[in-house]
């Protein structure tokens, strides 16, 4: 039970982190262009 819960939390954290990194990569170049 504990291992399954930990795996799910890691997947959720990894997913959110991946989305954040993807958004940062997309926003950074646009921010540099605007500047």
Give the residue, 4 or 17, on which the prediction is more confident: 17
How far apart (Å, rounded) are the C-alpha atoms in residues 18 and 8? Answer: 15
With cut-offs at 50, 70 and 90, classify the pLDDT of residue 34. Answer: low
Q: For residues 17-31, give the mean pLDDT.
A: 82
Calculate the CA 29 to chain-centre distance.
17
With cut-offs at 50, 70 and 90, classify the pLDDT of residue 1. Answer: low
- Return the pLDDT at 11: 87
Residue 31 has pLDDT above 80, yes or no: no
How far apart (Å, rounded) are the C-alpha atoms in residues 11 and 4? Answer: 11
How far apart (Å, rounded) are the C-alpha atoms in residues 20 and 23? Answer: 5
Q: For residues 7-35, give the mean pLDDT.
A: 81
């Amino acid at each position: 039970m504990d291992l399954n819960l930990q795996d799910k939390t890691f997947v959720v954290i990894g997913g959110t982190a991946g989305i954040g990194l993807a958004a940062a990569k997309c926003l950074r170049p646009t921010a540099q262009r605007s500047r």
